[in-house]
Structure 1
Amino acid sequence: MGKATAGIRFKATLQRPAQPKGAAWRFLVLPAAASAKLPTRSMVTVEGTFERQPFQATLEPDGAGSHWLKVDRTLWEAAAVGAGDTVELEVAPVAREPEPTVPADLRRALAAHPDALATWKDITAVARRDWIHWITSGKKAETRVKRIATACDKLASGMRRACCFDRSGMYSKGSMGAPEPAE
């Protein structure tokens, strides 16, 4: 991972999430002007620096036309910052989206459906990430089970993208968005 090229520089306030209580991670919401320079309103993987500490992460849509960044404990501690601090970042989209981690239940379902697996192997990393996000964004366990079955059926029929999935989070309030900050 090298330093971001054609970087987007900005400052933001590091925040502690209200939920889950005691979370070790922190987050920040990108300023609208910085987010507008990204190639998409949906998830986008970036690399760059966080208080001069190198990192790579996937920004998620905040549901309001911008993006938010989940900052793991290792990074915010290495930068010697905490919740409430203003931090400086420089980011740029990666040249190639990384492969997403496939949840075990989805991996087992795909293995049991050869036609679905064939399509899965043929689609892009971004499309795989979208399918995973759609499956995992359900709040109930039974929703996840239904979505895995639906995904396998759709992939087996040759569908390459998760249909009717709001990648920006702007139209599906509640399923995507930045965390609420702790007080």
Structure 2
Amino acid sequence: MASKPTVFQARLLRPATPHRATWSFLLVPPDASAQLPARGLVSVDGTLNGHPFQATLEPDGQGSHWLKVPRSLREAAGATVGDTVTVDIAPVEQEPEPSVPVDLRKALAGSHQAREPWQSLTPAARRDWIFWITSAKKPETRARRIATTCEMLASGKRRACCFDRSGMYSKGLSAPVAADG
């Protein structure tokens, strides 16, 4: 990690839904989150109880972030849900390429006018488009956002318009609800 690391402790929580989730999550304390470069998505290199990982922190809608902790990372770090863990994070030096959902990939493949602008975007800009699409609560909203993405890209727009990346103003983004309160 080349950037100055941020170290904090947080409790591993189990999400209330889905009921059979194998992952856990933690809330990044506001003072630690304030040291990050953005209130929206932030990709970080880090350690959880000394075990290395790379992940993208998500906005919690309160001006801070939360981290989804896959079971494999939790187990590698020797932690269980309910434990307080030590986390050391720093923004990545090079943004990782996001995973493009199948439905968006198909839409881009079918639109030459959108595909070329998409390929010219930075990984962070592609991640923002994907996050805007996948944050839709209803399938019809998601489908409409994919169509809008293709239209906007084809018309020369490079950013998802009017999307509150922090969730602070639209209240559309938040951390999961913990199963144990």
Kept after mapping to 2: 8 A contact 1:50/1:87: yes
TM-score (norm 1): 0.95
User: Residue 144 of structure 2 corresponds to which residue in structure 1?
Assistant: 146
Identity percentage of aligned residues: 60
Deviations 1:15-64 (A, max 9, x none): 11101102100000011110000000010000111000000000000000
Instruction: State yes or no: 1:177 paired with 2:170.
Output: no
TM-score (norm 2): 0.96
CA shift for structure 1 position 5:
4.6
CA distance in 1, matches of 2:53, 2:117: 32
User: Residue 75 of structure 1 corresponds to which residue in structure 2?
Assistant: 73
Kept after mapping to 2: 8 A contact 1:120/1:155: yes
Structure 1: tracts of 5 or more residues without a match: none
CA distance in 2, matches of 1:48, 1:132: 23
User: Residue 159 of structure 1 corresponds to which residue in structure 2?
Assistant: 157
Kept after mapping to 2: 8 A contact 1:61/1:178: yes
CA shift for structure 1 position 76:
0.6
Moved more, 58-67 or 133-142: 133-142
CA distance in 1, matches of 2:178, 2:57: 17
User: Residue 10 of structure 1 corresponds to which residue in structure 2?
Assistant: 8
CA shift for structure 1 position 172:
1.7
1:130 counterpart letter in structure 2: D
Kept after mapping to 2: 8 A contact 1:4/1:47: no
Matches within 5 A, 1:50-129: 50-129=48-127
Q: Secondary structure at the match of 1:55?
A: strand
1:181 counterpart letter in structure 2: A
1:134 counterpart letter in structure 2: W
Structure 2: tracts of 5 or more residues without a match: none
Deviations 1:56-103 (A, max 9, x none): 000000000100000000011111211211100111000111111111
Runs of 4+ in 1 over 6 A off after TM superposition: none
Alignment RMSD (CA, Å): 1.0
Kept after mapping to 1: 8 A contact 2:117/2:153: yes
Q: Secondary structure at the match of 2:78?
A: coil
1:120 counterpart letter in structure 2: W
CA distance in 1, matches of 2:3, 2:170: 33
Kept after mapping to 1: 8 A contact 2:11/2:83: yes
CA distance in 2, matches of 1:80, 1:98: 26
CA shift for structure 1 position 111:
1.3
Q: Secondary structure at the match of 1:153?
A: helix
